[in-house]
Amino acid sequence: MAGLKVAADVEVEQRTPSPITGNVGVSLSRSETEPTEDLPLWTLIRNSTEALGFNNYLKFIDQLFCDAPVAVPDFERQRFAAKGAMYNNLKGRRLLPFNDADSYRVLKAATEAFVMVNCGILSLPLAFNPAEDAAYLDRRDIPNGADLAQVLASDYLEVVDGSTLTLPYLAVIRRKLPDIPIHLGHKDADADLCFGIIQERLANPCLLELIWSYWQEEGMLVQTMNAITQRFQNLRAPGIGPDPLSNTEIDMLRPLNNLLWGYTQDEQHRLSVVRRNYEYDHHYGIRLDGRAVRQFRPADSRSKFLEAFHHLLRLLTAFYRQDDDTTVKADAFPVLNALKEVHLILSQGAHNQFGDLPSTARIEMLMQQWLLARPEFREFLPTRVMVAYPEPWMDRVDAMKKLQNWTDTSVVHFRSLALFGEQLLLSIRYGNWSDVYESTQAFNWARFWRPQAQGYIHAYRAATGVDLSVDGADPAADSTLPSVLLRQRLTQQHQRA
């Protein structure tokens, strides 16, 4: 066997090892998502509902009647002109058959103008605030691929009847009625008497949810004003013992005196608690509890809404837990299916008084909040100065609840339920969820509305005692009416007293 062997000397240079210092960090990032075409709709809903808030309403009233300088978003400042024009149009037509009620009458016209301009999310200028909107999406880890206004116009809104731009959900409804013409409106804007679909409600729908009014009423806003107007008319409060408002004597030199006169005279033209209660049940299957609404016989009720909505909130809690875990890809399909279910139930109640009663209730309750925020009430309702409330009317309601021995749950929680509940339900009602099969939209929806969803869950626990964030469904708790839970907590409160 042949072989070959080679030998040679090799010199190896030995280098001194270089030490490595410092920390080597390894991090995991959250699951990536992609922008969807409905991001502009959610942004408009969030901005418009916040623009409808009391603090913004107060600024509008101060600017309109007192020429006070106000700080508001750019789109809202541009809308002041439209609100002023609508107010000037309304104040000559909204007349009251009472003497010496002009202060209240013009307040009512201004409030209607404020609500009607701000509730239309497609009103120009659109409720976009580019810098703040981009920062909000960035905090939610949702990529913002393009200008939201451009995406809305070119990718999201649909054209119906050749030229009318509308939301995809409303476009589906329009296609169900191909034989009915579009009614463009009479030269008199209020004279919608001709047969056809009202073009303004298709192209610029007024997005309000009656659940806002429901939670404000459960928070005792309306009851507080009722107690004040009864005392204003020298009616004694029910029950034994001294009247809690016996010292409420408002002199005629204060503007509040004449405003309460007009408000009291106009009672016959406001929605009654019975009408609101029937509509709460028609929209959401929820209702108030009390002597004024005992003979309750609804023709149609959304009996499955409460359970479906609470099921969605429980799924969101599980989704957020997965989404925060960077080793897991959160599954949004259960959220999508729950959104479809809630959307279907909500759409079944969008009939009859749906088009007008929510806006009427909003106008009336905003005026009640404005009256309660008047400085004169500091003398008659002993409030706690060191408690910071988000809106200036709220401490008056809590003070009234203390005087009357009503619930001791702060109105702060009911205000959160009203605000967050409206935002969540608007995004579900007006999104075209019945035609969505990919989970990306539900994934983005859950991230976009996370502060609102978790805020609602916390406020619901604080108000009713039911925690919607715990694992596992609780059918009994999920389907129990909030009014029943609130009554049970009030009974426990009185037993402990």
Per-residue pLDDT in tens (0 to 9) along the chain, 497 residues: 566 666 667 676 777 777 766 665 655 666 778 889 999 999 999 999 999 999 999 998 998 888 777 777 777 777 777 777 777 777 777 777 778 788 889 999 999 999 988 888 888 888 888 899 999 999 999 988 778 989 998 899 988 887 888 999 999 998 888 877 776 655 455 555 666 667 778 888 889 999 999 999 999 999 999 999 999 999 888 877 788 888 888 888 888 999 999 999 999 999 999 999 999 999 999 999 988 888 889 999 999 999 999 999 999 999 999 999 888 888 999 999 999 999 999 999 999 999 899 999 999 999 999 999 999 888 888 888 899 999 999 999 999 999 998 999 999 999 999 999 999 999 999 999 998 999 999 999 999 999 999 999 999 999 999 999 987 777 888 889 999 999 999 999 888 86
In a domain, 369, yes or no: yes
Q: How, if at all, do strands 158-160 and 164-166 pair?
A: antiparallel
User: Which pLDDT value is given to residue 185?
Assistant: 59
Same domain membership, residue 484 and residue 338: yes
In a domain, 287, yes or no: no
User: Which pLDDT value is given to residue 352?
Assistant: 92
Token reading at 4: 């070959």
In a domain, 222, yes or no: yes
User: Which pLDDT value is given to residue 331?
Assistant: 92
Domain limit, last residue, from 156, 177, 193: 156
- Closest listed residue to residue 218, CA positions, set 281, 275, 284, 287: 287
Same domain membership, residue 235 and residue 100: no
In a domain, 7, yes or no: no
In a domain, 354, yes or no: yes
In a domain, 427, yes or no: yes
In a domain, 192, yes or no: no
Say how many Å lie between the first and final Cα of the chain, rounded.
109
Same domain membership, residue 266 and residue 120: no
Same domain membership, residue 217 and residue 74: no
Same domain membership, residue 217 and residue 79: no
CA distance 416 to 421: 8
Burial readout 38-74 (b: 16 or more C-beta within 10 A, e: otherwise) = bbbbbbbbbbbbbbbbbebbbbbbebbeeeeeeebbe
Same domain membership, residue 308 and residue 241: yes
Same domain membership, residue 460 and residue 321: yes
Same domain membership, residue 259 and residue 120: no
Q: What is the pTM of this model?
A: 0.90
The answer to whether the CB of 48 falls within 8 A of the CB of 119 is: yes
Same domain membership, residue 243 and residue 152: no
Same domain membership, residue 315 and residue 452: yes
Domain membership of residue 337 as a residue range: 211-270+302-496
- Closest listed residue to residue 76, CA positions, set 84, 88, 68: 84
User: Which pLDDT value is given to residue 53?
Assistant: 93
Same domain membership, residue 376 and residue 238: yes
User: What's the structural domain count of the chain?
Assistant: 2
Q: Within 10 Å of residue 320's Cβ, how many Cβ atoms?
A: 17
Same domain membership, residue 148 and residue 234: no
In a domain, 291, yes or no: no
- Closest listed residue to residue 34, CA positions, set 439, 394, 411: 439
